[in-house]
């Protein structure tokens, strides 16, 4: 189906919005009146700009407070409408959205509403324009889609149809099944938005919290299925009022928006994409650093050994069990300092995974490799993290490991088994996008989002996971501009005995993050521990949590650059990430940074 986006969904000037929509690959736009009013371009110039960009103008909107008013008021409304229709003729737009009245002048009289909308449609017809009547969820007398359709049906005018908006329908809990009772040709337009499930005033919810389909809690795909069954053949158009997107750069937001429509069309069954290839594990985490020494010291103290070196690049492979960390001292490191730059995801079909990512608009990374290197499929996540699709130790596929040459080493310790999870801090305006990317592109499941108190703000965190826990990524975002030291990325390592690993780490000179005594007093009140157990945790800074499935013990290394390590021990199938302990950990990191600057 054709794709469209309302200019109100993007930040910037009208010119910037149109360029972003076109570059992302949308077919058309809804021009929001305010964007036109604020533009220095004439309607003819906007029309030309859209044509040059390959965009159709699918809708002009909104007209407000038109119907069911006293006759002299309606006369003034028609005068206003004539002026707007003139503008639309100059724009070359043939459909206008009229939202249900919120005016105190409007009366509760469907026959009058139908009669006046019919007169409006008569006037529109003179201009070759169609009127699409939409029920605002907070409309004064008409606030549901079925009521708006009744009014339209009663008017029985060929130039009058209805506009369906998923937000207004789903926010009120209306059953979208009734959409199938509307003849498809009378659905003049379809606007799509999702939203997080919040208990709040519906107008505020709509104006500030809408998001792209798949980013919130509504079944937008289910609604679209009903609209398609009704016989609608117009565009799928995104209309998203969102405080964050308004402030963000239009280009990436438009790409994010179109990706959501691609995933939606796949779910509805009106478009096919290369099938998702769900990653089964983490092949490696790659750190870049200008100085390998501090990172190597931490890895060494954790029991990793430097097992191999890249044949053509300054990259070391550190390994313990199936946990692999690459330490890259190449040019990127000198630019960006110490940080997590790339993740290798173990994939059943690396090429298939890359094909899907590309179809879903993920930037495919150029293969900056020497001729003899294995051809690795890689794309960039929204935060810039490079994702490599890997096949480790599978002879029939290229193996990234073949680019590395073993170096002499003593055996590694054996109590760290694998990477348990990766925690990635997102830029503030990419959080919803990141969750949708990891679900839609990688085929991971998103868990509920949780809020975590930070001494200097609030952190929102959401995990995305593979079916069997082979891949776990915790995405988080702070309310304030990211503090590089505390809101760093981290690599969590799975151990069968966190106490033993923590002790060895400390004996080898490693620095663990210390936790306050009050935390342990509180733990003693909440749980029962064996004699001496709590004292051990306190000594090593180990945190404790429990869920319906099992227990969780974890502790943290001090931060190097923008990365730190977590040691985790999951027992009995514990599913979480110790979110209950995160406020204490964040406070401890702030305190450590103040004391030592690291
Ligand atoms: O919030 C509003 O006023 C508004 C305007 C036009 C729309 O299409 C809509 O869904 C909401
Ligand atoms: Mg709308």
What does the pLDDT read at residue 386?
A: 94
- Tell me, which fold does domain 3-268 have in CATH? TIM Barrel (3.20.20)
As a whole number, mean pLDDT of residues 495-519 equals: 97
As a whole number, mean pLDDT of residues 509-532 equals: 97
Residues of the chain with CATH 3.20.20.150: 3-268
229: DSSP letter: H
CA 139 – ligand 2 centroid, Å: 12
- What CATH number should be reported for the domain whose range is 281-596? 3.10.180.10
As a whole number, mean pLDDT of residues 343-372 equals: 87
Has 191 been labeled as part of a binding site?
A: yes
Hey, which of 276-290, 323-337, 376-390 has the most confident mean pLDDT?
A: 276-290
What does the pLDDT read at residue 487?
A: 61
Query: Which atom of ligand 1 sits closest to the CA of residue 62?
Result: 6
What does the pLDDT read at residue 210?
A: 97
Residue with the larger pLDDT of the pair 425 and 49: 49
Collect contacts of 214-217 with beta carbons under 8 A, ≥24 apart. 214/260, 214/263, 214/264, 214/436, 214/439, 214/440, 215/260, 215/432, 215/433, 215/435, 215/436
Residues of the chain with CATH 3.10.180.10: 281-596
- Which letter, b or e, does each residue of 14-37 get, where b requires 16 or more Cβ atoms within 10 Å of its Cβ? bbbbbbbbbebebbbbbbbbebbe
CA 242 – ligand 2 centroid, Å: 13
Query: Is-contact 457 478, C-beta < 8 A?
Result: yes
What does the pLDDT read at residue 430?
A: 81
As a whole number, mean pLDDT of residues 430-444 equals: 93
Mutational test site, ligand 1, from 62, 167, 168, 203, max ligand atoms within 8 Å of CB: 62
Q: Which ligand is nearest to the CA of 205?
A: 1
Torsion of CA 264, 268, 269, 275, to 10 degrees: 40
Which range is least confidently modeled, 310-314, 451-455, 459-463, 559-563? 451-455
Q: Which ligand is nearest to the CA of 138?
A: 1
pLDDT at position 319 over 90: yes
Query: Which atom of ligand 1 sits closest to the CA of residue 203?
Result: 1
Task: Describe the crossing of helices 145-155 and 110-126 by its angle, rounded to 10 degrees.
Answer: 70
- Which residue shows structure tokens 């990635």? 424
Has 45 been labeled as part of a binding site?
A: no
Hey, which of 187-196, 423-432, 470-479 has the most confident mean pLDDT?
A: 187-196
d(CA 257, CA 48): 24
What does the pLDDT read at residue 485?
A: 47
Torsion of CA 51, 56, 59, 60, to 10 degrees: -10
The pLDDT confidence band at residue 481, using thresholds 50, 70 and 90, is low
What does the pLDDT read at residue 593?
A: 84
CA 20 – ligand 2 centroid, Å: 21
Q: Which ligand is nearest to the CA of 164?
A: 2
Query: Which atom of ligand 1 sits closest to the CA of residue 241?
Result: 1
Number of other residues whose CB lies within 10 A of the CB of residue 370: 11
- Which letter, b or e, does each residue of 495-533 get, where b requires 16 or more Cβ atoms within 10 Å of its Cβ? beebbebbebbeeeebbbbbbeeebbeebeeeeeeeeeb
Between the alpha carbon of residue 497 and those of residues 42, 365, 504, 552, the distances in Å are 69, 39, 11, 11
Query: Which atom of ligand 1 sits closest to the CA of residue 207?
Result: 1
What does the pLDDT read at residue 595?
A: 75
The pLDDT confidence band at residue 469, using thresholds 50, 70 and 90, is confident
Q: Which residues lie with the beta carbon below 6 Å from any ligand 1 atom?
A: 61-62, 97, 99, 134, 136, 165, 191, 206-207, 239
Q: What is the pTM of this model?
A: 0.94
CA 12 – ligand 1 centroid, Å: 19
What does the pLDDT read at residue 468?
A: 85
Structure tokens at 181: 């009772």
**Cis ω on the peptide bond leading into residue 62 (within 30° of 0)?**
yes
Mutational test site, ligand 1, from 206, 210, 237, 238, max ligand atoms within 8 Å of CB: 206
């Amino acid at each position: 189906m054709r794709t469209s986006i309302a200019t109100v969904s993007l930040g910037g000037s009208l010119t910037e919005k149109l360029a972003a929509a076109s570059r992302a690959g949308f077919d058309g736009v809804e021009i929001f009146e305010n964007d036109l009013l604020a533009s220095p371009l004439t309607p003819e110039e906007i029309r030309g700009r859209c044509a040059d960009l390959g965009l159709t103008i699918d809708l002009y909107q909104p007209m407000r407070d038109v119907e069911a008013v006293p006759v002299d008021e309606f006369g003034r409304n028609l005068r206003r409408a004539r002026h707007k229709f003139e503008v639309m003729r100059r724009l070359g737009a043939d459909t206008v959205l009229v939202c249900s009245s919120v005016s105190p002048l409007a009366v509760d009289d469907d026959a009058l509403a139908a009669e006046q909308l019919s007169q409006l449609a008569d006037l529109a017809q003179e201009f070759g324009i169609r009127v699409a009547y939409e029920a605002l969820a907070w409309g004064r007398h008409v606030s549901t889609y079925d009521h708006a359709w009744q009014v339209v049906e009663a008017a029985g005018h060929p130039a009058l149809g209805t506009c369906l908006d998923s937000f207004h329908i789903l926010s009120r809990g209306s059953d979208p099944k009734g959409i199938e009772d509307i003849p498809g040709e009378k659905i003049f337009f379809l606007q799509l938005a999702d939203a997080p499930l919040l208990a709040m005033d519906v107008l505020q919810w709509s104006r500030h919290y809408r998001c792209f389909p798949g980013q919130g809690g509504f079944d937008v795909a289910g609604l679209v299925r009903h609209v398609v069954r009704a016989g609608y053949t117009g565009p799928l158009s995104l209309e998203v009022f969102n405080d964050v997107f308004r402030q963000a750069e239009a280009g990436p937001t438009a790409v994010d928006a179109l990706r959501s429509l691609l995933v939606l069309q796949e779910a509805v069954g009106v478009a096919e994409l290369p099938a998702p290839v769900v990653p089964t594990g983490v092949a490696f985490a790659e750190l870049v650093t200008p100085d390998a020494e501090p990172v190597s010291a931490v890895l060494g103290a954790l029991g990793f050994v430097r097992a191999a070196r890249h044949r053509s690049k300054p990259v070391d492979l550190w390994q313990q069990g199936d946990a692999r960390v690459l330490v890259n001292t190449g040019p990127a490191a000198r630019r960006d300092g110490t940080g997590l730059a790339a993740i290798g995801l173990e994939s059943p079909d690396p090429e298939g995974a890359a094909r899907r990512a590309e179809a879903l608009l993920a930037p495919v990374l150029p293969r900056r490799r020497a001729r003899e290197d294995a051809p690795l499929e890689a794309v960039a996540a929204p935060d810039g993290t490079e994702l490599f699709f890997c096949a480790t130790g599978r002879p029939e596929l290229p193996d990234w490991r073949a680019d590395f040459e073993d170096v002499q080493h003593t055996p590694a310790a054996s109590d760290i088994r694998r990477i348990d999870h990766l925690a990635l801090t997102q830029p503030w305006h990419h959080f919803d996008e990141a969750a949708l990317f990891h679900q839609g592109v990688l085929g991971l499941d998103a868990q509920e989002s949780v809020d975590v108190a930070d001494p200097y703000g609030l952190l929102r965190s959401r995990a995305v996971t593979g079916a069997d826990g082979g891949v776990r990524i915790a995405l988080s975002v702070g309310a304030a501009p990211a503090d590089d030291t505390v809101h760093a990325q981290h690599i969590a390592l799975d151990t069968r005995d966190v106490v033993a690993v923590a002790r060895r780490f400390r004996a080898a000179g490693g620095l663990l993050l210390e936790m306050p005594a009050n935390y342990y007093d509180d733990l003693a009140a909440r749980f029962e521990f064996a004699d001496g157990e709590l004292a051990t945790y306190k000594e090593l800074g180990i945190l404790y949590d429990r869920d319906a499935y099992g227990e969780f013990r974890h502790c943290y290394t001090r931060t190097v650059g923008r990365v730190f390590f977590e040691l985790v021990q999951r027992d009995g199938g514990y599913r979480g990430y110790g979110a209950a302990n995160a406020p204490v950990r964040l406070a401890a990191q702030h305190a450590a940074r103040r004391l030592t600057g690291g």
